[in-house]
Amino acid sequence: MKKSFLALSLLTSLSTLADTQTYLKAAIEQRFYFQDALYEQQHNSDISVFIEPELYYSWNQGTGSINIKPFVRYDSRDDERTHWDLRELVWMQIGDEWEMRAGISKVFWGQTESQHLVDVINQTDFVEAIDGEDKLGQPMVQFSLIKDWGTLSAFALPYFRERTFTGVEGRFRSPLVVDTDNPLYESEDEEKNLDWAVRYFQYFGDVEIGLSYFDGTNREPGFIPQTTEEGLSLRPYYEQMQQTGLDMLAIVGGTLYKLEAIHRKTSQEDFYALTAGFEHTSVGVLNSHYDIGWLMEYQYDERGEQATSLGQNDLMLGSRIVFNDIDGTEVLIAYIQDLDDSSSRSGYVEASSRINNNWKWRLDGWFFSSDTQTEPTYLLRRDDYIQFSLEYYF
């Protein structure tokens, strides 16, 4: 009797301490390309919609929780871009100085803005955007210790996610389409190779340091040309890699200095790469309410022209203007110049503002230019676009 009463009161107290939160993001996006497409199957405009609901349920004052976040996109032109993903389906348990996550989740590592060398846990959802900021949900078990001496996290990653690539009708591709149905792996276990990683992070006042190590399937594929009944295509090949990463941030006066450096080793090669730069923000420029931030980052890859990343010896210059108005208006303009090849450059613009509590507009534009056939930017030389989005949040 006493026991059941205790159990009942425990249950009641648990349910009163439970919490459910819902989030929703959806958008309709219209893209216009400035130049005629390079390949006949491609189009000069594109309309697309996506929806991303999220449900968070926690119990016992938030010490236990689950989070579910599916994502679905429909694209009017590219079948490969019409896709869905479980961004998150994760159970989290937290204690005084530890946390544990199991399920599908997303992790971000690093400090720089122009590219994310250190951040290797999640695969890039490349059909989403050319900037590579969108990620696929990664199956993982994570355990972190949160101590005075820093945060130490260990990750076991039991299943690999392949990178998404645009299809025949999509833009941003080489003359040969990537055959995403037939990937090749170095590991005998293929996508079931058990990857693992550790990360240490600490904050010392004006300096932050992160150290990471990853051993497993390289998220960046190589490509092997193949001939099938449909013609020539590229098979993605995923090697094994060991990557050591360092990321740092230091504040000096009103300036943030940022550094990311990696050493990556595969059976084929062994190289260093880094991104280093600064961000300086001036508040209340010319007695206005505007904040203007100046960004400069240098990108280096020891492999030079063989680099799979866009930034092998490149300089990014950018400016972020924050209007500090009720609508939260922001504009970011960036320009990236290849220092080895003056004809290779790219730039982008991102602007957004609120319409009301639930609606927001956004404008994104990308511009690419290159005369050099060996440059990755050369493939994108006719893919300049501007995209207008109407976003709904709830």
Is there a contact between 349 and 333 (Cβ–Cβ < 8 Å)? yes
**Per CB under 8 A, which region of 38-46, 192-200, 350-358, 374-382 contacts other proteins?**
350-358
Q: Which of 42, 58, 217, 312 binds other proteins (CB under 8 A)?
A: 58
Look-up of token digits 């996109």: 73
Our finding on whether 256 is near other proteins (CB under 8 A) is: yes
Whole-angstrom distance, CA of residue 137 vs CA of residue 152: 22
How many residues of this chain interact with other proteins, rule: CB under 8 A? 51
Window contacting other proteins (CB under 8 A); options: 189-197, 211-219, 273-281, 338-346: 273-281
Distance CA 29, CA 18 (A): 37
Residue 66's Cα: distance from chain center in Å?
22
Regarding 198 and contact with other proteins (CB under 8 A), the answer is no
Taking a C-beta distance cutoff of 8 angstroms, is the pair 344, 377 a contact?
yes
203 binds other proteins (CB under 8 A): yes
Binding of residue 91 to other proteins (CB under 8 A): no
> With CB under 8 A as the contact rule, which of the stretches 2-10, 71-79, 182-190, 202-210 interacts with other proteins?
202-210
Long-range CB pairs of 271-275, under 8 A, 24+ apart, other chains included: 271/301, 271/302, 271/303, 272/302, 273/117, 273/299, 273/300, 273/301, 273/302, 273/303, 273/307, 273/309, 274/117, 274/299, 274/300, 275/112, 275/114, 275/115, 275/117, 275/299, 275/300, 275/311
**Closer to other proteins at the Cβ: 1 or 326?**
326
Of the two residues 99 and 302, which places its CB atom closer to other proteins in the complex? 99
56 touching other proteins, by CB under 8 A: yes
Residues 344 and 371: their CA atoms lie apart, in Å, by 7
Cβ atoms of 377 and 346 within 8 Å: the answer is: yes
Among 12, 14, 28, 62, binds other proteins (CB under 8 A): 62
* Residue of the chain from 283, 304, 343, 374 that contacts other proteins (CB under 8 A): 283
254 binds other proteins (CB under 8 A): yes
The answer to the question of residue 112 lying near other proteins (CB under 8 A) is no
**Sign, Cα dihedral of 163, 192, 87, 248:** negative
Q: Which of residues 134-153 bind other proteins (CB under 8 A)?
A: 144, 146, 151
User: Does 205 participate in binding other proteins (rule CB under 8 A)?
Assistant: yes
Is residue 330 within 8 Å of 292, Cβ to Cβ?
Answer: no
Which spans of this chain sit near other proteins (rule: CB under 8 A)?
A: 19, 21, 23, 25, 56, 58, 62, 65, 92, 94, 96-97, 99, 106-108, 111, 133, 144, 146, 151, 201, 203, 205, 208, 249, 251, 253-256, 279-284, 289, 291, 324-328, 354, 357-358, 360, 391, 393-394
